[in-house]
Amino acid sequence: MFLLPFAIAFISLAEVVSPPWAIIQETPELEFKKVHDDFNKAQMSFVAELRKAKSQDEAFIIKTRLAPNVNEFIPRFLALAKKAPKSKVSFDALSWIIRHSDNYAIIPEEEQAVAILMRDHLENLGLGELAFLVMSSRTEVAKSLLHQMASSALDHPNKGQACFSLASICQSWADQADHFKWMSNETRQKQSTIPDYAKWMAWTAKLNASNLRQESERYFELVVVRFSNLPRFKKQKQTLGELSRIELDNMRRLAVGKQAPETVGDDIEENPIKLSEFRGKVVVVSFWASWCGPCMRFVPDEIALVKKFQDKQFVMLGVNADETRKDAIAAIQKHAITWRSFWNEGKPDGSISKLWNVSVYPSVFVIDHNGIIRAKWRHSSPEDGTLQNVVENLIQEQSSK
């Protein structure tokens, strides 16, 4: 009994003080967390400073000076992936590289990341989700990964998702090439002074819209033939086949250069209206709703457009998706909207939006005096000054004939 307190003290001390040879080495999981936390800390610091910006110009300066340099983190994540091959940590590190890359041109470390994913993780279902997440990317590394997945001999859901995402990314890049082509010289000069826009413009100018659309159509068709019943990731209701058929319809029926579909209905005031009654004029069709923030922010540009071309062969038309006519009329009165709008049956997926395959608001179409679609912005409004430039060129084209 006399020795018991000393024994207890010795045991307690042994538990607290570990001998040098018992030092715990850092695991790959802890290393990943450290690198990930370092990036998040830099990102949070940057966002905090960005919120203090009092003007657009000040925000651009902060972004140029404080935005985390992703390329400083890519080698750290790549080294970690190589250190723990075929592990969850490796996959997560490689996925981070693909998702966070902001390089328009692929760099060697990114090529290595793609090669390791293809070698070690091709059947990992997480790779299919990664393919879903990067389908709106502007980076060559994302397209490279999707192309290699879609071209693999693998008969796996990952391949179906890769084909759909690759088709989507090609279509998106083709649209961006068109949008760049339609921009006015004034807008290009203004945006060229902003580093991020300057990089985007240099990249976009090299894109071949025609080739990208052919590639997009080829992969959407492949999805329909081989992966039609495959559900989309994130538990979307529609299958990849259904979504691909919609996109193919957009390409074949609603592409630039195609005849605009005849659209017949009532306007918000319950008067009959049809698109063809405006044949002979340049027509802008804008899908909008008062609950759509970007739509309402675009209204001043539309008002300026109507005012500028009020004496020309031009007409502005809306397609309204408000729940009630009362809501639409209130927005029209509040924002001094003077043009007519088709009534879309009180819902965003009414018959007119289905006819035009519009699922995201705003969406804008420009139709020439012959009823041909000459420009379109699906899921967005045009860049500053671009719509005016397109309309002006079409009016001049009409006047010269």
Q: What is the CATH number of the domain that holds 274?
A: 3.40.30.10
Query: Closest Cα to residue 364, out of 298, 284, 294, 296?
Result: 284
Residue 96 domain boundaries: 28-250
pLDDT digits (tens, 9 = 90+) for 68-123: 899 999 999 999 999 999 999 999 999 999 999 988 889 999 999 999 999 999 99
List beta partners, residue 343: 320
Q: How many Cβ atoms from other residues are within 10 Å of residue 252's Cβ? A: 10
pTM score, two decimals? 0.84
Domain boundary among 203, 232, 250: 250
Q: How many Cβ atoms from other residues are within 10 Å of residue 74's Cβ? A: 23
Rounded CA separation 254/350 (Å): 17
Domain boundary among 250, 269, 291: 250
Mean pLDDT of 173-183: 92
Q: How many Cβ atoms from other residues are within 10 Å of residue 95's Cβ? A: 23
Question: Which is more confidently placed, 237 or 204?
Answer: 204
Instruction: Work out how many domains the chain is built from and give that number.
Output: 2
pLDDT digits (tens, 9 = 90+) for 332-375: 999 999 999 999 999 999 999 999 999 999 999 999 999 999 99
Rounded CA separation 4/16 (Å): 19
User: Is 368 in contact with 374 (CB distance < 8 Å)?
Assistant: yes
Assess whether 159 and 224 both reside in one domain.
yes
Question: Which is more confidently placed, 401 or 5?
Answer: 401
Assess whether 81 and 229 both reside in one domain.
yes
Identify the three-state secondary structure at position 319.
Answer: strand
pLDDT digits (tens, 9 = 90+) for 17-56: 545 544 556 799 999 999 999 999 999 998 998 888 887 6
Give how far the C-alpha of residue 154 lies from the chain's centroid of Cα atoms, to the nearest Å: 27
Assess whether 102 and 232 both reside in one domain.
yes
Assess whether 232 and 302 both reside in one domain.
no
